[in-house]
């Protein structure tokens, strides 16, 4: 990042005095051959490298994208370093009652019960008096309509631990976060994506936590619009840098479904 290269040199007792090779080590956290490797800071002394480690996480992904942990019996699955999250939708009492009625009539409740009887512990969520699971989404009773997102605690702890490790061994730490999940008041009424200029609340909380853990700069990307910049504890948070590089015109071939999505013939 050009703004990162412009940062002034920083005196840091964590680096060996006069050791340019050590200061030039670059952390790599991202897509690797297992989740253990994806989330772990890796350093290389290949010069000329920037003394700015980049920790990378991804809040938007398909179900098949995240890497998996190794076990004593099997190797991990290759993939990205995820920051998983869940959403809870708040509805009024009438809305929750309507969802319960539809869920029972359409067989959703019976399907959940079958999953629970098979030992699927995840299907125990959203079955209390003030909450209900419908169509894979979690609804809670409240006075106003809204949506609340929360981060996966294990993903959060692993990412923050690696940022702390990078902080211990580097002069500057930059966190790069890919996220398409949006939030803010305009989320409920906007007719165009360009009318929304905030990330979901779990991403905002993650940005603050990364700075608390030792990051000097937090850079989010994913939305094709530039979002606001927050100065948190004298450190910048870029909630979306917009479309600085977009090369859709360069691919020579596209899959058939890319045409079908817009009603075009391949």
Residue 250 resides in a domain: no
* For residue 188, pLDDT beyond 50: yes
pLDDT for 249 equals 73
Q: What is the pLDDT of residues 9-22, one digit of tens each?
A: 444 433 333 333 33
Q: How far apart are CA 171 and CA 216, in angstroms?
A: 9
Residue 13 resides in a domain: no
Same domain, 104 and 220: no
pLDDT mean over 167-183:
91
Residue 125 resides in a domain: yes
pLDDT for 217 equals 95
Residue 71 resides in a domain: yes
Same domain, 101 and 217: no
Same domain, 75 and 170: yes
- The terminus-to-terminus CA distance of the chain in angstroms comes to 37
Domain span at 98:
93-141
pLDDT for 26 equals 38
Place of tokens 């999505």: 261
Question: CA nearest 56: which of 174, 208, 180?
Answer: 174
Name the E strands within 35-98: 43-44, 54-58, 85-91
Q: What is the pTM of this model?
A: 0.72
Residue 62 resides in a domain: yes
Same domain, 78 and 97: no
Residue 262 resides in a domain: no
Same domain, 230 and 201: yes
* For residue 30, pLDDT beyond 60: no
Residue 59 resides in a domain: yes
Same domain, 217 and 168: yes
The percentage of the chain sitting over the pLDDT mark of 70, rounded to a whole number, equals 71
Q: How far apart are CA 217 and CA 6, in angstroms?
A: 12
Q: What is the pLDDT of residues 90-148, one digit of tens each?
A: 999 999 999 999 999 999 889 888 888 888 766 555 567 899 988 889 999 999 899 99
Same domain, 27 and 102: no
Measured torsion, CA atoms of residues 260, 193, 211, 41, in degrees rounded to the nearest 10 = 10
pLDDT for 63 equals 62
Residue 201 resides in a domain: yes
Same domain, 126 and 214: no
Same domain, 173 and 195: yes
Q: Which of 106, 141, 176 is the last residue of a domain?
A: 141
Same domain, 76 and 176: yes
Same domain, 226 and 99: no
The percentage of the chain sitting over the pLDDT mark of 90, rounded to a whole number, equals 43
Residue 265: phi, psi to the nearest 5?
A: -90, 135
Q: How many independent structural domains does the chain possess?
A: 2
* For residue 207, pLDDT beyond 90: yes
Same domain, 233 and 176: yes
């Amino acid at each position: 990042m050009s703004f990162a290269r412009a940062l002034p040199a920083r005196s840091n007792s964590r680096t060996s005095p006069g050791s340019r090779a050590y200061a030039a080590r670059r952390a790599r956290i991202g897509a690797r051959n297992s989740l253990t490797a994806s989330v772990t800071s890796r350093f290389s002394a290949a010069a000329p490298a920037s003394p700015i480690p980049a920790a990378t996480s991804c809040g938007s992904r398909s179900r098949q994208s995240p890497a998996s942990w190794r076990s004593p019996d099997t190797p991990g699955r290759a993939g990205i370093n995820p920051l998983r999250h869940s959403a809870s939708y708040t509805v009024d009492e009438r809305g929750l009652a309507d969802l319960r009625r539809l869920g029972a009539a359409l067989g959703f409740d019976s399907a959940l019960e079958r999953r629970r009887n098979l030992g699927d512990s995840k299907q125990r969520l959203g079955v209390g008096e003030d909450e209900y699971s419908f169509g894979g989404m979690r609804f809670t009773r409240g006075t106003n309509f809204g949506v609340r997102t929360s981060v996966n605690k294990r993903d959060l702890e692993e990412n923050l631990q690696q940022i702390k490790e990078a902080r211990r061994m580097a002069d500057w730490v930059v966190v790069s976060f890919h996220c398409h999940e949006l939030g803010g008041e305009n989320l409920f009424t906007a007719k165009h994506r360009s009318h929304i200029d905030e990330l979901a609340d779990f991403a905002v909380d993650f940005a603050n936590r990364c700075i608390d853990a030792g990051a000097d700069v937090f850079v989010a990307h994913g939305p094709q619009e530039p979002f606001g910049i927050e100065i948190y504890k004298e450190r910048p948070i870029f909630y979306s840098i917009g479309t600085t590089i977009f090369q859709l015109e360069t691919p020579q071939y596209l899959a058939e479904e890319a045409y079908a999505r817009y009603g075009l013939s391949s």
